[in-house]
Amino acid sequence: MFAAPTMPSTTGKTSISDIHDLTDYCHATAENARKASYALATLDAAVKNRWLRESAAGLIANTSEIIAANQIDLDAAPNYGLSEAAIDRLRLDAGRIESIAAALEEIAMLPDPVGEVIEGHTRPGGLQILKRRVPLGVVFFIYESRPNVTADAAGICVKSGNAVILRGGKEAIHSSRAIVDVLAKCALECGLPENAVQLVATTDRAAVGEFLKLSKLIDVTIPRGGEGLIRRVANEATMPVIKHFDGNCHVYVDMFADIEMAVDIIENAKCQRMGVCNACESLLVHEAIAETALPKIAARLKKNQIEMRADERALPLIDGGIKAEPADWSMEYLGPTISIAVVDSLEAAAEHINRYGSKHTDAIVTNDLKAAELFTQMVDSSAVMVNASTRFNDGGVFGLGAEIGISTDKFHARGPCGLRELTTYKYIVRGDGHIRS
């Protein structure tokens, strides 16, 4: 049986060979997190902020150790078949460690969501009722191989009063452990409860399944990665999951659109950064404006080497387009491809988006007030843009300060998830011997 109270995962000294029983290990880790979560819930913001700033300083002070650990991951990268781009994302240098530290400093400067009184009133008879924001409790965070996410996620979770169990990708495990070692050492020095931040000491895939069973100990699981990972986690989890599925984002060009504006917005939404979830994947154009607008839009997309997959009404208006297949309407290309359709009306555009989209981010280009109002009401997405690029759906832009993901769910949190989205509330009722009659 794995000895829970002395579990050394936060100090980075547990190696995989120390783990005799995976079930016991995961249970002990989650029990430790639950215990830490109760202490974290009562912690003063000043303590959490000091930890964030000390950790930032600690990361910089330990730059050479972190780079050495990172080198082990880089050396192993070819064994995992990582692409050049993935290896580049994995690489840490002094500048990148400074950025990681700066992100923690920024989290320290954000207001503490815990303790906020959301609302309150006094009942006839004098019973005082407060609705107060409190942490969710324990967050199980699963992510892939970018080591900066390790520090980011730990910072966001602890600042919002949650204990966090970090399950990082095997490709970055040594880098992540070096980072967590610094965070854990600072945690002890700053008076954070033990095990507020734990890195899962094994990269055994079965560990994820074990944690996903522990609904009594873990309040929410947040998987960040490919659709396969998220789907697996959503299927297996016994606790709530904040899901970040694909972003099949649309731009709809209304009959009352400014065509030049539409061309600029589509170019930005599609081409400014293609591999991200808020990039545009599909273009819908009102039939009344298609003949004028589509050739101009297509010319700009062609200049950007975008492959255009068009329905039969759009195809004749596009220089260099190819015929779309039915599967195209649901595709998140994350690359230089876009699907294009002509629609009969704004209502048809909204129906198309609600049917094929992913409730992520969708935009209308129009100068008509009623069209803007109707589109924002009808489209069932986390963010609806009027005359603005889909690329603006972002925690920073929305003023959240730091985000742990973008939820494509409608339940609990929608869109960018920052500190507040990692909290819940409790009712606090104060009486003076009040009894119910």
Residues that bind a copy of itself (CB under 8 A): 38, 41-42, 121, 123, 127, 129, 131, 134, 136-137, 219-220, 240, 258, 261, 264-265, 267-269, 272, 350-351, 354, 372, 374, 376-378, 380-389, 391-393, 397-399, 409-412, 414-415, 424-437
Q: Any idea what DSSP says for residue 241? A: B
Q: Which two tokens stand for residue 244?
A: 């970040």
Sequence-separated (6 or more) residues with CB below 8 Å from residue 10: 180, 184, 187, 194, 195, 197, 198, 199
Report helix, strand or coil for 149.
helix
Q: Which residues pair with 416 in a beta bridge?
A: 406
Under a CB-based contact definition with an 8 Å cutoff, are residues 207 and 200 in contact?
yes
Question: Cα–Cα distance between 315 and 339 in angstroms, integer?
Answer: 11
Q: How far is the CB of 80 from a copy of itself (least distance, A)?
A: 32
**Which CB atom, from 69 or from 266, has the smaller least distance to a copy of itself?**
266
Q: How far is the CB of 430 from a copy of itself (least distance, A)?
A: 5
For a copy of itself, the closer CB: 323 or 410: 410
| Smallest separation, CB 37 to a copy of itself (Å) | 8
Indicate the residue among 11 and 128 with the shorter CB distance to a copy of itself: 128
Q: Which segments within 112-264 are labelled E, that is strand?
A: 117-122, 128-135, 138-142, 163-167, 197-199, 220-223, 249-253
Whichever of 190 and 257 has its CB closer to a copy of itself, that residue is 257
Whether 230 and 49 have beta carbons less than 8 Å apart is answered as no
Closest distance of CB 434 from a copy of itself, Å:
4
66 vs 214, beta carbon nearer a copy of itself: 214
Separation between Cα atoms, residue 310 and residue 22, nearest integer Å: 51
Residue 89 C-beta: closest distance to a copy of itself, Å: 21
Residue closer to a copy of itself, measured from CB, 177 or 391? 391
> What does the alpha-carbon distance between residue 423 and residue 115 come to, in Å, rounded to a whole number?
10
CB of 265 to a copy of itself, least distance (A): 6
HEC string of 9-45 equals HHHCCCCHHHCCCHHHHHHHHHHHHHHHHHHHHCCCH
Token readout for 199 is 């890195």
Return the structure tokens found at 345. Answer: 């009306």
Taking CA atoms, 371 is separated from 103, 121, 346, 353, 428, in Å, by: 40, 40, 7, 15, 44
The answer to whether 192 and 40 have CB atoms below 8 angstroms apart is: yes
The smaller minimum CB distance to a copy of itself, of residues 22 and 234, is found at 234
282 vs 366, which CB is nearer to a copy of itself?
Answer: 366
Residue 134 CB, nearest distance to a copy of itself (Å)?
A: 8
Nearer to a copy of itself, 100 or 379 (CB): 379
Minimum separation from the CB atom of position 258 to a copy of itself (A): 7
d(CA 273, CA 228): 23
In whole angstroms, how close is the CB of 38 to a copy of itself at the nearest point?
6
Cβ 387 to a copy of itself shortest distance, Å: 5
Pick the closer one to a copy of itself by CB: 73 or 409: 409
Q: In angstroms, what is the minimal distance from the CB of 71 to a copy of itself?
A: 35
65 token code pair: 């150790």
Q: Using alpha carbons, list the distances in angstroms from residue 198 to 12, 30, 87, 252, 309.
A: 9, 9, 25, 45, 47
Q: Which of 48, 391 has the CB closer to a copy of itself?
A: 391
